[in-house]
């Protein structure tokens, strides 16, 4: 039964998954071309200097890409469930309601994490021969809040889409926008090192807000 | 016969608007029961409450003896649901949707689904979203039949269907329900179809149940009385045994479970001069209009 739910979620999201993978790959490639250009024109030492002395990590164009991916994934996955109240079909399945919703949301978060981990891995493999481990770490820690923002975007769009009333939907979107803004308050490198673990824990816990929306849907709130 | 569905003292409001109050009914095993009513009388509300998608203001419903708010997943396997407008996962094609549902239901009958799909003349990979409303209704019906559930709950199954598909749906459903001894609880706007399908009916009026009877009993006992009145200004006095008495251009009409003698006494008692008093049997749609009125 779990496999069947995952199959349904995959049917809805597979094209978006491919699109998100292409966009992430394109942006990663673009950022790495910028790094490659600096290395070929001025040498790796100049790259080290920029990374150490300025807040430029060369991956800034990717800032909003994970967020964009998370928002789009939630829309592609959950809007079809709410069109014509199709969520009723899902809740009628012979499984506990929270388990069904948990599997759906777990699928979405896993898909995002898979995309993000692969991107991270590509960046690591690319930087490994040209940068010291500390500098690779600096780049990756600077980018980490953007990826957590991607999961937060997914969590809040899911919270809003699964909500049955438009008024609450709007409030959920506003709450989401306020929370996500936290991830973009500072553009300094490694600015979030002290809080990123907590932000990640809070973000993962916020995925659970969607259960509240489904519960309201189930009570027939209009 | 054991009741499969029981609703006790069901009351529901949307905000301050009362939909119905203290509704009591049950659906016996092996029967096809139609819930009929005008728009806004609470048919879909009842279906939503029965499926646990709406918390009633008060009252309780049970299906197979279990409270619908805490129904066991195993019991859910015995209940098939058709949502208003034959809503299904339209992003799937007919093969994908069969594969999806099959794993949830241990008594799944793949052949029943594909037998109906063969009549549709659609490609196996065609997405449900690209099908006509009639074709989508057949997909939904095929899935219900394949689920092989003991109870079928169908919300406004005739919505959007042309007469051909409506007839096909009804014939398939009736034959299936009777041969497999299924219990069916359904609603529909199109009463004329129900006559061929349902055994029993509940007619809802605003706020209450007007009548719950078998269709055959209703058609045998409920009649329309017509007569001519010379005084066209007269209006018919109310009588609790009559439904919607009216005079239009000298033609009087009223609906009742009473016999001709009772009507004669009523006309006599109120000194209404009349002629050509006749009674006629009605089809289900006319009975519905007779009971609920045209407005």
Range(s) of the domain holding residue B212? 3-217
Say which residues have a Cβ less than 8 Å from residue A140's Cβ, sequence separation at least 6: A120, A123, A124
B228 and B212 share one domain: no
B169 and B100 share one domain: yes
CATH of the domain at B272: 3.30.70
Q: What is the DSSP code (8-state) at residue A98?
A: H
Strand partners, B152: B80, B184
B141 and B243 share one domain: no
Written as six digits, the tokens of A86 are 């199709």
Contact B37, B43 (CB under 8 A): yes
pLDDT over threshold 80, residue B122: no
Contact across the interface for A94 and B105, Cβ inside 8 Å = yes
CB-CB neighbors (< 8 A) of B83 in chain A: 84-86, 88-89
CA dist., res. B256 & res. B119, Å (int): 44
Which pLDDT band, with edges at 50, 70 and 90, does B295 fall under?
low
Which pLDDT band, with edges at 50, 70 and 90, does B118 fall under?
confident
Q: Which of B239, B240, B222, B232 is nearest to B272 (CA)?
A: B232
B66 and B179 share one domain: yes
B56 and B198 share one domain: yes
Sign of CA dihedral B160, B162, B166, B169: negative
A2 at interface of B, judged by CB pairs closer than 8 A: no
Q: What is the DSSP code (8-state) at residue A177?
A: H
What are the tens digits of pLDDT across the range A30-89? 888 888 888 778 877 777 777 777 777 777 788 899 999 999 999 999 999 998 889 999
Strand partners, B14: B17
Contact A94, B72 (CB under 8 A): no
- Give the pLDDT confidence score for residue B40 in this predicted structure: 81
Domain ranges, ordered by start, for chain A: 2-218
Using beta carbons and an 8 Å cutoff, which residues of B are at the interface with A?
A: 14, 48, 51-55, 73-74, 76-77, 79, 81, 83, 85, 87-92, 96, 99-105
B140 and B236 share one domain: no
State ipTM: 0.83
B15 and B134 share one domain: yes
Distance from CA of B76 to the nearest CA of A (A): 5
B208 and B227 share one domain: no
Q: What are phi and psi of A190, to 5 degrees?
A: 55, 25
B12 and B133 share one domain: yes
Q: Which of A159-173, B28-42, B115-129, B131-145 has the highest mean pLDDT?
A: A159-173
- Give the pLDDT confidence score for residue B1 in this predicted structure: 66
Q: What is the DSSP code string of B153-193? A: EESSTTTT--HHHHHHHHHHHHHHHHHTT-EEEEE-S-HHH
CATH of the domain at B122: 3.40.50.300
B178 and B73 share one domain: yes
The shortest CB-CB distance from A88 to any of B51, B92, B96 is to: B51
The domain boundary residue, chosen from B217, B246, B279: B217
Residue contacts between A and B (CB atoms, under 8 Å): 70
Contact across the interface for A84 and B85, Cβ inside 8 Å = yes
The domain boundary residue, chosen from B153, B184, B217: B217
B178 and B232 share one domain: no
CA angle A88, B183, B214 (to 5 degrees): 120
Sign of CA dihedral B229, B233, B239, B244: positive
pLDDT over threshold 80, residue A147: yes
B78 and B188 share one domain: yes
What are the tens digits of pLDDT across the range B149-174? 999 999 887 777 778 778 888 888 88
Taking CA–CA distances from B15, the nearest residue in chain A reads A222
Chain-centre distance for alpha carbon B165: 18
- The per-residue pLDDT of chain A, averaged, comes to 89
Count: domains in chain B: 2
Percent of chain A surpassing pLDDT 90: 59
Q: What is the DSSP code (8-state) at residue B127?
A: B
Taking CA–CA distances from A92, the nearest residue in chain B reads B76
The domain boundary residue, chosen from B217, B236, B255: B217
């Amino acid at each position: 039964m779990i496999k069947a739910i995952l199959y349904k979620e995959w049917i809805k999201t597979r094209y978006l998954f491919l699109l998100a993978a292409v966009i992430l790959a394109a942006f990663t490639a673009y950022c790495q071309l910028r790094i490659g250009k600096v290395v070929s024109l001025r040498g790796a030492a100049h790259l080290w200097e920029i990374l150490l002395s300025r807040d430029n990590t060369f991956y800034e164009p990717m800032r909003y890409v994970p967020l964009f991916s998370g928002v789009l994934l939630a829309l592609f996955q959950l809007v079809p469930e709410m069109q014509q109240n199709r969520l009723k079909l899902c809740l009628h399945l012979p499984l506990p309601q929270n388990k069904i919703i948990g599997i759906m949301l777990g699928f979405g978060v896993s898909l995002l994490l898979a995309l993000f981990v692969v991107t991270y891995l590509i960046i690591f493999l690319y930087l490994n021969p040209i940068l010291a481990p500390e500098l690779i770490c600096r780049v990756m820690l600077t980018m980490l809040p953007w990826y957590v923002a991607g999961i937060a975007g997914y969590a809040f769009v899911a919270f809003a889409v699964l909500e049955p009333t438009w008024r609450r939907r709007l409030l959920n979107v506003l709450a989401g926008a306020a929370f996500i803004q936290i991830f973009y308050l500072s553009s300094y490198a490694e600015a979030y090192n002290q809080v990123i673990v907590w932000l990640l824990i809070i973000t993962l816990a916020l995925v659970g807000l969607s259960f509240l929306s489904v519960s309201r849907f189930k009570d027939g709130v209009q | 016969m054991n009741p499969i569905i029981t609703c006790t003292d069901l009351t529901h409001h949307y905000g301050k608007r009362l939909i119905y109050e203290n509704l009591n009914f049950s659906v016996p095993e092996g029967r096809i029961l139609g819930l009929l009513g005008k728009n806004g009388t609470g048919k879909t509300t009842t279906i939503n409450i029965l499926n646990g998608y709406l918390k009633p203001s008060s009252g309780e419903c049970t299906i197979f003896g279990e409270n619908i708010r805490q129904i066991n997943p195993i019991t859910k396997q015995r209940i098939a649901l058709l949502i208003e407008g034959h809503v299904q996962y339209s992003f799937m094609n007919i093969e994908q949707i069969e594969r999806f549902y099959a794993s949830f239901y241990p008594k799944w009958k793949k052949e029943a689904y594909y037998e109906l799909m063969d009549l549709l003349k659609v490609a196996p990979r065609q997405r449900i979203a690209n099908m006509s409303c009639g074709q989508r209704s057949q997909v939904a019906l095929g899935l219900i039949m394949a689920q092989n559930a003991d109870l079928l709950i169908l919300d406004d199954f005739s919505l959007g269907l042309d007469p051909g598909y409506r007839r096909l749906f009804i014939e398939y459903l009736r034959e299936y329900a009777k041969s497999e001894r299924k219990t069916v609880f359904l609603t529909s706007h199109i009463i004329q179809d129900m006559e061929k399908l349902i055994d029993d009916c509940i007619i809802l009026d605003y706020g209450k149940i007007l009548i719950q009877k078998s269709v055959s009993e209703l058609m045998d006992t409920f009649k329309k009385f017509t007569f001519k009145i010379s005084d066209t200004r007269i209006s018919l006095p109310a009588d609790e045994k009559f439904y919607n008495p009216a005079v239009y251009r000298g033609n009087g009409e009223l609906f009742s479970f009473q016999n001709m003698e009772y009507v004669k006494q009523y006309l006599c008692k109120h000194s209404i001069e009349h002629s050509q008093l006749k009674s006629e049997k009605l089809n289900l749609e006319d009975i519905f209009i007779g009971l609920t009125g045209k407005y």
